[in-house]
Amino acid sequence: MVVCDPVVVAQAEATGLALFRLKQTIGEASSLSPVVSKRLLDKLRADAACWVVHDENSIQQAVSILSVRSDSFAVTPIQLDTGRRTRTADAESIFVYEGRVTVVGSAFVGGKGTIDPRRSFVASFDEDDVRFSQHGSSFQGHAPATVKTLGLELTAAANSALERSAIEIARPSKAARKAAKKAGLPGGVPINIEGACVNLDGVVTLGLRSPVAATGDPILLRLKGDVVDGVQAVADASVGVLHMGTDSTEPVGIRDLAFRDDRIHMVVAHADVAMVADRIRRAPARHVSVDSAGGDLIIHRDFGNRRRVEGLARPTGVERLRSDGWWYVIDDEKAVVVLSAG
């Protein structure tokens, strides 16, 4: 466990956020989801807590818990025991439904210009199965988890959903078209899923950083089943475009999703520059939300010059804390960086 007293490293007056840097060995935080289990909160002795995924670690070491007690933040690594060494990495999103934690990884174009199938997976475990141990000053958790590798099936399923929707997408770059061809997806596009959330009825929504609509607006996939059960739920998804009045030369992609108070909240920021054919500008990062039907867009916060905001959540229990409101994490290789709404 790494503990950080709430020393404000930077105060962004324009956004109303305080920044906390929790230095530790696990960085690259990419998504948040509130801890639901009262039993787990009691074990942590926490007032509020969120699950965190770290997108450059193996799935066994990709999860931690960000908690707060008496206004002091702590990060506790959680070792996922998968029973065998599963060669998966790049966890992008996390959500909790009825005490079951689900982590989603997305196959995306790597440095060699190919779609890496090892990055596409779904992992899951129960909150109440988490056990903690302490060795000297080291405190961490363990949980038995199942991992289902999806290879290129998830990318193909998302392509099917996009094709069926007839939504015009932004023209993919040469690198994107080449990667799709190598993967056996003629006419298809690489898919980068960076957000996932679930509503109170168990309906899962996935958010894409790429591709984006031809208008430059981000795309949501509303599943008709659980992604844990198979990729057919993605192939059958209803596809929606988040109409933000975006300029096509400044396309917007989704970085994270969260369901709260019957609305889908999300961090949106610039789309993948390398995946779009035309020269584009980098859109600013914002926290926005829509209602369950996908309308009534509200812009909650503009993050100013902070473009690498990756995850968001509003955990239960924050009403009692000085750090009241939404928590956000920033992509940082050497620390968990938390922005907290005061």
Domains recognised in the chain with CATH numbers: 2-341 (2.120.10)
Distance CA 284, CA 305 (A): 7
Q: Residue type at 307?
A: R
The region of weakest confidence among 6-15, 163-172, 194-203, 297-306 is 6-15
The answer, yes or no, to whether residue 2 has pLDDT greater than 60, is no
Which of the four pLDDT bands, split at 50, 70 and 90, describes residue 6? very low
What is the pLDDT averaged over residues 240-268?
A: 93
Is 113 or 302 the better-scoring residue by pLDDT?
Answer: 302
Average pLDDT, the chain: 86
CA-wise closest residue to 211 among 105, 91, 109, 104: 109
* Residue 275 backbone phi and psi in degrees, to 5: -100, -5
Distance CA 78, CA 86 (A): 16
CA-wise closest residue to 176 among 95, 78, 91, 275: 275
The region of weakest confidence among 135-144, 192-201, 219-228 is 135-144
Q: Which DSSP helix (H) or strand (E) runs through 40? A: helix 38-44
The region of weakest confidence among 132-136, 167-171, 229-233, 268-272 is 132-136
Distance CA 285, CA 71 (A): 26
Distance CA 104, CA 193 (A): 8
The answer, yes or no, to whether residue 237 has pLDDT greater than 60, is yes
Q: Using DSSP, state whether 131 is helix, strand or coil.
A: strand
CA-wise closest residue to 106 among 251, 227, 219: 227
- At residue 104, the pLDDT reads 95
Q: Is 72 exposed, middle or buried (0-12, 13-18, 19+ CB in 10 A)?
A: middle
Q: What is the DSSP letter of 213?
A: B
CA-wise closest residue to 260 among 310, 194, 193, 198: 198
The tens digit of pLDDT for each residue in 20-43 reads 888 766 778 999 999 999 999 999
Q: What residues does 20 pair with on adjacent strands?
A: 338
b (16+ CB within 10 A) / e for 91-104? bbbbbbbeebbbbb
- At residue 238, the pLDDT reads 95
The tens digit of pLDDT for each residue in 94-149 reads 999 999 999 999 888 876 778 888 889 999 999 999 999 987 667 889 999 999 98
Distance CA 317, CA 50 (A): 11
Distance CA 5, CA 28 (A): 21
Q: Which DSSP helix (H) or strand (E) runs through 5? A: none
